[in-house]
Amino acid sequence: MGIKMILNAKAVYGVPVKIFTTDVDEQSLTQLRKMAQLEFIHSHIAVMPDVHVGKGATVGSVIPTKQAIIPAAVGVDIGCGMNALRLSLKAEQLPDNLSALRNAIERKVPVGFEMHKQVRAKASTLTPMEKRLERITRKHPGLTRMLRHFNSTWQKQLGTLGGGNHFIELCLDENQDVWVMLHSGSRGLGNAIGTYFIERAKKEAQHRFGHVPDRDLSYFAEGSSLFDDYFEAVEWAQEYAYENRREMMRLILEAIRPLLPSFQMTKEAINCHHNYVQKELHFDEEVYVTRKGAIRAGKDEYGIIPGSMGAASFIVKGKGNPESFCSCSHGAGRKMSRSKAKISFSQQDLIQQTQGIECRKDKGVVDEIPGAYKDIHEVMANQQDLIEVVHTLRQVLCIKG
């Protein structure tokens, strides 16, 4: 079950687009054709089976670039990703009613626009991050005006969930082992960094590589000061996202310990990005790989592919497929927009589709209803050449931002 479609670029310059599914909407195909026209794309663009239209670049795309980075392809939720940890508990050790666990986690981990009242993270984590951030804001003081109470906000948001499709879950695997799983990114400051540099790229368009078919594909060329500044800032945001998930996991475990039998953490722990850029070697050339809604799936590397809030999720191991640039999907992928989901489904639909799961069932999360997402099992079937499944999880508790 490998590549299902190939778009061959018809522009003066272009690369193929190799797609691991046939379930692709027209808007996504249009975006992908534009991306393929960029002269600095290396080899081809790979598209994962959870593909859907995105802002700037198509979600589910893996974009290898030579001597350039597209800030809008990385996006504004820089470093967004997953964290999962298996506990030494069995399903039978969980209480019959999980509402107390959900309430305890929500008291410890702020969700939505909320943040901690005081800084919770350790100074050993914050101090080096603060020093690196000061270097970035000295060069770009405009960043500090994009976030209210700049310094205190990014520190108080460390260890918080955010909104949208970010979540915290308790899950059970095929052996009835208990897992804690969460999905979050770089919060307000990551958004500010992404927005700031996307606008700079559009305003100060560079033309080293010729025509750009869409302003959202404006780029920074390697060797320019803005390229170096952006790469430093995006690396900072990716580290922040990683630490945010780690701090959240610590707080979740702290919240649930008093309510459960004594437990230990197993060695199976995964913390991975799915919106990020980093330097990698592919087809004998060092390139910048932007994964826009995709995770790295190098040979024997572990990753997490969540379904919707009413479907299975998967712990996977990569096969290192070169055609996908050692990547796989980051989830099920939306099949309809949030606005369409809100008018297509009712609160009763949500209640029905999340039966047996301790979670919010109000109108405020109807846009996250399982029916708004692609079938995760079809998505997984389309990437058998990319990953192997290690564990299959089903959620019993879900907290949405």
User: Which positions are catalytic?
Assistant: 330
List of residues 6+ apart from 368 with CB closer than 8 A:
165, 308, 309, 341, 400
For 311, the 3-state DSSP assignment is coil
Question: What's 76's DSSP letter?
Answer: S
Rounded Cα distance between 1 and 20, Å, is 8
Tell me the sheet residues that pair with 214. Answer: none
Is 306 annotated as ligand-binding?
yes
Is 329 annotated as ligand-binding?
no
Is 169 annotated as ligand-binding?
yes
187's torsion region: left (phi>0), alpha (psi -120 to 50) or beta? left
Is 190 annotated as ligand-binding?
no
| Residue-level length of the chain | 401
Is 168 annotated as ligand-binding?
yes
Is 307 annotated as ligand-binding?
yes
Phi and psi for 86 in degrees, rounded to 5?
Answer: -90, 135
Rounded Cα distance between 330 and 342, Å, is 23
Is 166 annotated as ligand-binding?
yes
Is 167 annotated as ligand-binding?
yes
Is 308 annotated as ligand-binding?
yes
Is 40 annotated as ligand-binding?
no
List of residues 6+ apart from 345 with CB closer than 8 A:
366, 369, 371, 372
Decide: 147 and 189 in contact? Cβ < 8 Å.
yes
Is 313 annotated as ligand-binding?
yes
Q: What would the DSSP string read from start to end of 11-29?
A: SSS---EEES-S---HHHH
Rounded Cα distance between 355 and 357, Å, is 6
Is 333 annotated as ligand-binding?
yes
Q: Of 317, 401, 305, 392, nearest to 359 (Cα)?
A: 401
For 110, the 3-state DSSP assignment is coil
Q: For residue 192, what are the CA distances in angstroms to 64, 154, 196, 204, 224?
A: 24, 11, 6, 18, 21
- Cβ neighbour number for residue 152 with a 10 Å cutoff: 13
- Cβ neighbour number for residue 7 with a 10 Å cutoff: 20
Decide: 53 and 388 in contact? Cβ < 8 Å.
no
Chain-centroid distance, C-alpha 314: 15
Is 282 annotated as ligand-binding?
no
Is 193 annotated as ligand-binding?
no
Is 151 annotated as ligand-binding?
no
What residue numbers does the annotated binding site for Mn(2+) cover? 77, 166, 183, 274
What residue numbers does the annotated binding site cover? 77, 165-169, 183, 274-275, 306-309, 313, 330-333, 400
What residue numbers does the annotated binding site for GMP cover? 165-169, 274-275, 306-309, 313, 330-333, 400
